[in-house]
Amino acid sequence: MGEISVETLAEEMYEMVAECAGKKNLKAIDLTKAVMAKHGEGACDKEDCKKAIRLLIDSGRCIYSYLVGSYIQLPAKEDAAP
């Protein structure tokens, strides 16, 4: 495990997904590359990033959507207008 906790990585990934919501679809590899570039080599690895993404999906904070590829997005708001 790197220097950064999985929970911290998950929070940073969630913020990226929230920022891009409705503008750009992010793949898991996009999030992985972004946090690894942000923290530098050795601070976190791909396995830490996979765990962070799994934490977001399992908690329901993010979902996978399948369009032409597999993307990570925020779940739809249930109270949103149709």
pLDDT digit string, tens, across residues 26-77: 999 999 999 999 998 788 899 999 999 999 999 999 999 998 889 999 998 7
Residue 21 above 70 pLDDT?
yes
Is 18 inside a domain boundary? yes
Q: Global pTM?
A: 0.86
Residues 6+ apart with CB under 8 A from 48: 1, 2, 4, 6, 9
Q: Check which CATH number belongs to the domain holding 13 and give it.
A: 1.10.10
Is 79 inside a domain boundary? no
Q: Which of 18, 1, 20 is nearest to 61 (CA)?
A: 18
Residue 81 above 80 pLDDT?
no
Domain that holds residue 21: 6-73
Total domains present in the chain: 1
Is 22 inside a domain boundary? yes
